[in-house]
Chains A and B, each alone.
Chain A
Amino acid sequence: MSFPDAGALADHSEPKSDLRLWLAKNASQLALAPSVVIVLVVIYGFMVWTGVISLTASKMLPNYSFVGLAQYGRLWSNPIWQIAVSNIFIFGFLFIGFSTAIGLALAILIDQKIRAEGFLRTVYLYPMALSFIVTGTAWKWILNPGLGLERMLHMWGWESFRFDWLVNTEYAIYTLVIAGVWQSSGFVMALFLAALRGIDEDLVKAARLDGAGATQIYRRIIIPQLGPTFMTVGVILMQQAVKSFDLVVALTSGGPGNSTNLPATFMYTQTFGRDQMAVGAASAIMILMTVAAIVVPYLYIDIRNNRNER
C-alpha cells in the first residue's frame, strides 16, 4: 500500500487531471484506508498499550512507572490464575472435542435424506441464536440440584438420583462444558452439513458400487474430505473457548470457591474489582499469546496453501 503524504500531494496540485489519475489508480487503497487505520489503532494499538501497562505499576488508574516483568511473576504465583489456566485447558479440550463430535454426528444423521430436515436443522441451530448469558442462566437453573433436574427427578420418584456438579468444586468446570456444547454443536452441525453437501456424489456412488457399507463410506471417503472444515470448526471453537467469559459469569460467577475461573474472568476481576490493572493486563497478554500461538501457525499454513494453489 503506498500513497503520497499531504506534502507530496500539494506539490503537484496544479494539473487537476494528475490528482484524478492518482485517485483512480489508488481508489481501492483509499477506500480501505479508514478501516485499516481503525483496526490498527483500536485493535493493535490497544494490544500494545495493554502490553505497556502490564510492565507498569498501575493499580486503579493507568500509571507509567515501569517495573519490568514483576507483574508476570505475581500473575503466575497467583493460585487463582493457575486454576484459571488449567481450567481453560480442560474446558477448551472438552468443549472443542464434544462440540465437534456431536456436531458431526448430527450432520451425518441429518444428511440421510430424511423428511422434516429443514425443521430439524432449525431446531439444532437455534441455540446459537441465544447469547451465552441466556444459556448460562438457563443451565444454572436446570443444573442447580435444589431447583432443576435433580429436584424434578426426585419429585417423579427417583429419589436416589444425584447430579450436583454445579455446586461441587471438582466438577463445576464440566457444567460449563455441558452448557457450551449444548449451545455450539448445532452451529458445528451446520458447518459440517454444508461440507457434506459439497462432497462429490460420484465418489460415493462409485464406492457403493464397489460394495462399501455406509460406515465405511463415511470413515474412508467422506470424513477425510472434511479436513478444511475440521480446521475451521477448530479455530472458531477455540476462540469461543478462550473468550467464554459470559458463560462463566452467568452460570457460576467463577465459583464455587473460585473453581471455575477462566483467564478471561480472572482478567476482569483483577482489573476492575481488585485495583490490579497491571496484573490484569499481564493476564490479557498471556491470553493473547496463547491465541497467537495457535492462530499464527494456522494462518501461516492457510497463506502457504493459497500461494501453492496459485
Chain B
Amino acid sequence: MHYWTSGSEAAGLDVLKQLLEKRGVSWSDSPVAGGTGMNMVQVLRARIASDTAPSAAQMHAQQVQAWAAEGVLTDLSDLAKKEDWAKIIAPELVPLISYNGKSVAVPVNVHRSNWLWYNKKVFDKAGVQPPTTWDEFNQVSEKLLAAGVTPLALGGQPWQEADLFENVVLGLGGADFYRKALIEQDQEAIKSETMVKVFDQLRVMNKFVDKNYPGRDWNLATQMVIKGEAGMQIMGDWAKGELSLAKMEPNVDYGCSPAPGTKGDYVWLTDNFGFFTTKDENRVKGQIEMASAILDKDFQEAFNIKKGSIPSRVDVSMDKFDFCGKAAYADRAEAQKTNTSLPSLTHNAATGATKTGVFLDVVSTFFETPTMTSQQAIDQLVAGLKSAE
C-alpha cells in the first residue's frame, strides 16, 4: 500500500514490481491517492483494526516509529544482520528504522528539502547570483522585485510554509540550533533571540511572494519558476520532476543550490516500507524478499533516478544521476562527516505527527496573519508543544 500515484512515482515503483517478480514475489498493488498520505494512513488504520493489514506499506520516518510503537511491524533484524544494514544504509537513517533494537523498516530513498531552485534566465536578466545567506536572499529578492518578477514562488499550504520555516531555522541558527529547537523542542532554544529572528525573516518574506499564493499546490509554484514569472522556489528535490517534464536542463536552464545559509548541511526525509506482522509464512517470506529487493543496488539506482531522490544506501554509483542528484549525494557525504545531516521537521522525520502539527499550525498562521508578532508565534509554539506532550 502506498500513495505514489504521480507519473515519476509510479515509474519508480514499476522498477520494484519487476524486480520482485524476478525474485518470485507477487505484487498486489493498492495505491491510495492523496499526496500527503493522510488518506492512506486512514485506510491502513481501518485494515489493521479489521486484521486485514497489507503486507507492506509506505511510511515516513516518524510514522515507522509510530507504527512500531503500536507493535504491528514485522521484525527484520535477521535480514539486517545478514545484509549488514548498519554499514550500507546512511547512518542517520538507521535509528529511525529501528525500534527497541530491532530493525522494522527499509528506507527506499532520501530526498533533500533544503534546496533553492532558481530560473537562470531570470537571475541573469536581473543580474543576481543565488543567495548564500538569508540577508543575501532579501537583497536578491529586492532586486527581483525591482525587475518586475515575483522573487519567491510559494504555495500557501501549511507544509510549504513549514518547509520555509525549517530552512530559515537552519540557515540562521545552524545545525545545533536546528537540532535543539526542532528535534528536541528545547524550551530555551524555542524562546531564544534566534527564534525571534527566524520569525522576523519569515515576516520579511511575506512581501516576496505574490498575493495569490494561499492554497496553491507546490507544483504550480514550480511552474511559476519554469515560466519565469518567479525567480526561485525553496522546495525538496521532487521539484526536479516538474522541471525535467518542462524540458529544463539542470545547471543550464535552472540552478539548484542549498537553501540560504545551509551550505554543508543536508535536510533529509525518507520514504520507507514497513511490513505488518502476519502469521502467514508465505507472506513473511515475501516481506523479507521485498525488504531485500528495496535495498538492492540496481533498484536504488533505477528508482531514485526516476523519483528525483538519492539512494538510501551510501555505496551506490551516482554516474547516471543528473547534476543536482550528484550534488545532493556529495553534500550528504560531507554532512555525514560533520554531523549536519538533519531530519526534516515538515516531512515527518524530526518528530512525531502531533508536535509536527503544532509547528505547522503556528508557522502557517503566522505567515498568513500580518498582524501577528514573532513573540506571539513563539508563545503559541511553547503552549502548543506543551499540550502536545
Interface residues of A (CB under 8 A from B): 59-62, 74, 77-80, 140, 144-147, 164, 166-167, 169, 172, 252-253, 255-259, 269, 272-276
Contact = CB atoms under 8 A, between A and B. Distances in A.
A79 B366 CA distance: 12
Contact of A166 (B36, B214, B354): B214
Interface residues of B, number: 35
B266 interface: no
11 contacts: A61-B70, A79-B361, A146-B211, A146-B212, A255-B214, A255-B364, A255-B368, A258-B158, A258-B365, A273-B36, A276-B357
A273 B60 CA distance: 13
A269 B159 CA distance: 14
B357 A256 contact: no
B185 interface: no
B297 to A, nearest CB: 34
A78 B367 contact: no
A145 B147 CA distance: 22
B66 interface: yes
Contact of B357 (A74, A145, A273): A273
Contacts of B67: 60
Given A146-B210, A166-B214, A74 B387 contact: yes
Nearest to A170: B369
B353 interface: yes
Contact of A256 (B49, B69, B214, B384): B214
Interface stretch (B40-48, B117-125, B284-292): B40-48
Say what secondary structure dominates the interface of chain B: helix
Contacts of B69: 60
Interface in B98-132: none
Contacts of B374: none
Contacts of A273: 36, 38, 41, 353, 357
Contacts of A258: 158, 361, 364-365
B212 A257 contact: no
Nearest to A61: B70
Counting chain A CB atoms within 10 Å of each CB, which of B211, B214, B383, B387 scores highest? B214
Interface of B: 36, 38, 41-42, 45, 48-49, 66-67, 69-70, 156-158, 210-215, 352-354, 357, 361, 364-369, 380, 383-384, 387
Contacts of A274: 353-354, 357
Given A74-B387, A77-B387, 9 more contacts: A79-B361, A79-B380, A145-B211, A146-B212, A164-B211, A166-B215, A253-B215, A258-B158, A273-B353
A257 B368 contact: yes
A80 B380 CA distance: 11
B360 to A, nearest CB: 9
B277 to A, nearest CB: 14
Contacts of B364: 255-258
A78 B197 CA distance: 25
A255 B158 CA distance: 8
Given A61-B49, A74-B387, A257 B369 contact: yes
B353 A61 contact: no
A61 to B, nearest CB: 5
Contact of B66 (A172, A272, A275): A275
B66 A60 contact: yes
A281 to B, nearest CB: 14
B352 A257 contact: no
B45 A144 contact: no
A206 B384 CA distance: 66
Contacts of A80: 361
Contacts of B387: 74, 77-78
Contacts of B354: 59, 274-276
A257 B215 CA distance: 10
B75 to A, nearest CB: 19
A275 B353 CA distance: 6
A256 B383 contact: no
A272 B49 CA distance: 14
Contacts of A253: 157, 215
A222 to B, nearest CB: 44
A145 B158 contact: no
A118 to B, nearest CB: 39
A148 to B, nearest CB: 10
Given A78-B384, A272-B38, A273-B38, A169 B215 contact: no
Given A59-B354, A167-B213, A276-B354, A256 B45 contact: no
Contacts of B158: 255, 258
A256 B38 contact: no
Nearest to B156: A256
